[in-house]
Amino acid sequence: MVSLARQSEVRAGWLCLALLVLAGCSDPGGLWGDTAQPDAGVTAPLGRSLPVLCGRQAADRVARLFCGETAPEIAGLEDFAAQLGLRPDDGLLIGHSTALGGHLVSAANPRVLRMPGFELDASLVVIAFTRGQQRVELLALDPTTERMNLYLVEFEQRCNGEAEGCSAGDLFGPAIEEGWLELRIRDDEDLKNTPSDCRRCHGGSAGMPGPVLLMRELEVPWMHWFRERSPLIEDYRQAHLEPHTGVVEAIGGLSPGGVHNPDRMENLVGLLERAGLQGPQPLLFPSAVVGFETGEIDSATGLPSESGPAHVSPTWAGIYDAFRQGQLPAPPFRHERVTHVDGLKRFAESYRAMLAGEIATEALISPREVFPDDPQLRAEIGLEVEPDAGGVEALLQACASCHNARLDPTLSRARFDVDLARVDRSTLARAIERIQLPADDPAVMPPREARQLTAPTRLRLLEFLEQQLAAQP
């Protein structure tokens, strides 16, 4: 375990870096991606971090690439995929995600997964990438230990070094997929006590403890995935159609028109289970039932229904309620689209104008504008705490995903638990402090890319925690 002194040292280092980046950032308010959102935790540019990571002697493809004689040179996403043996155009797009970076994902800015086709390779690698975040998530099978290793590779772009910093267009346009500089890599061991802790979601079950490949929908209709006849593809085209050439822009090396059906992912999950490499999926979301109940999915064809959603889904409401009580991770949104028509239209116009060179990259509006303004819908999508949450509810919704009784007790974050009976006075006081930190402080709780408190729910949570503190002996 990293000692506390060491941690605050590292955090202080990050803070300076964060301030540097922020100073030149076009959006210090934090609407944009994560150039200024480094995790507290251990990290270092390639070279310094490698001895530790490489000392673990993993034999997966990512470790082999990074732990060779010379540091790898990776020009961008496509080059990275190729160096990992992934074929061009093999992959899937998701229009809504509960994974890391999900707060940036919609049909207009889909999350990219790159994976092999239908065979199980002993050196399986899967890549996940979301524009707006200067990082790539990887899952790689180690053929020696049969463990799925997780890696986070971070990079910079030229704009990080420029006075104005990175613009929205640099981060959300095609530029982020090329010209990578300053690579860093960390594995799930390095990340275990950071907001990006991979094991929090990818950790296996008690019987099969190793990390697992996750998929939330294993069957038709694959509600949130780009697939044949999905309305999400139309939404994507709205924004990414280059006006002069009529070409639809590819994202993460994938062209949404020719996108594959998610059955390749489902197949991969099945192969891994049958090979005994992982147990049943821990986070399955019954999208077929939910879609039939809302009327959004036609129960006869499994395709989007003509009439659109009409009803509430009792099944979804049940799962969502369990999340509200702090018992289950939040489910994905109950509808296929997480976008609001007007927001999508505004973003699409802005993006097309950028593609056509009619506006500067700095003038692109945030793809987060596509989400609805309605605070209840924003909560159900996973962006924020529910608007009417009281102190206890806000605590459960904003903190339980990372601070619960299931944590490795050696992690410093295990000192805080949403079961406040297990929290000592000084930690409770620290919680009160950290909730009040400025939004761009790397130590703020909840961390920036997690579900956010709104101003009124923050106040209610603080009041509740103050009462608890006063009541403690």
Q: Which of 33, 195, 252, 382 binds ligand HEC (CB under 6 A)?
A: 195
Contact string (CB under 6 A) for ligand HEC, positions 137-166, x = contact: xxx----------xxx--------------
198 forms part of the interface with ligand HEC (CB under 6 A) = yes
Q: First-to-last CA distance in the chain?
A: 30
* Region class of 182: left (phi > 0), else alpha (psi between -120 and 50), else beta: left
Site string for ligand HEC, 335-374 (x = CB under 6 A): ----------------------------------------
Q: Should residue 412 be labelled a site residue for ligand HEC when binding is judged by CB under 6 A?
A: yes
Exposure of 60 in the CB half-sphere (CA atoms within 13 A): 21
Closest to ligand HEC by CB, 179 vs 282, is 282
Binding piece for ligand HEC, criterion CB under 6 A, among 126-134, 246-254, 284-292, 339-347: 126-134
Whichever of 239 and 435 has its CB closer to ligand HEC, that residue is 435
Residues that bind ligand HEC (rule: CB under 6 A) add up to a total of 51
> Is position 124 an interface residue for ligand HEC (rule: CB under 6 A)?
no
Q: Does 383 participate in binding ligand HEC (rule CB under 6 A)?
A: no
Q: How far is the CB of 381 from ligand HEC (least distance, A)?
A: 13
Nearest distance, CB of residue 398 and ligand HEC, angstroms? 4
With contacts defined by CB under 6 A, name the span among 68-76, 189-197, 342-350, 375-383 that binds ligand HEC.
189-197
Identified binder of ligand HEC from the candidate list 215, 232, 383, 444, rule CB under 6 A: 215
Q: Does 379 bind ligand HEC (CB under 6 A)?
A: no
Contact code string over 28-47 relative to ligand HEC, x by CB under 6 A: ------------x-------
Binding residue (CB under 6 A) for ligand HEC from 97, 361, 457, 468: 97
Query: Is residue 113 a contact point for ligand HEC (CB under 6 A)?
Result: yes
Q: How far is the CB of 7 from ligand HEC (least distance, A)?
A: 7
Give the integer Cα–Cα distance in Å for 381 and 372: 9
Query: Cα(128)–Cα(140) distance, rounded to whole angstroms?
Result: 12
Kindly state whether residue 14 participates in binding ligand HEC, applying the rule CB under 6 A: no
Distances in Å between the Cα of 35 and the Cα atoms of 16, 97, 101, 132, 156 are 13, 20, 12, 8, 8
Q: Is 430 in the site for ligand HEC (CB under 6 A)?
A: yes
Piece of the chain touching ligand HEC by CB under 6 A; list 79-87, 155-163, 212-220, 304-312: 212-220
Question: Any contact of residue 403 with ligand HEC (CB under 6 A)?
Answer: yes
Kindly tell me which of 134 and 193 has the beta carbon lying closer to ligand HEC: 193
Site for ligand HEC contains 200 (CB under 6 A): yes
Binding range to ligand HEC, per CB under 6 A, among 54-62, 157-165, 245-253, 441-449 = 441-449
355 versus 379: smaller Cβ distance to ligand HEC: 379
Q: Which stretch binds ligand HEC (CB under 6 A): 14-22, 74-82, 360-368, 431-439?
A: 431-439
What does the binding site for ligand HEC look like in residue numbers (CB under 6 A)?
40, 94, 97-100, 111, 113, 126-128, 137-139, 150-152, 191, 193-198, 200-202, 213-216, 283, 398-399, 401-403, 412-413, 415-416, 427, 430-431, 434-435, 443, 445-447, 450
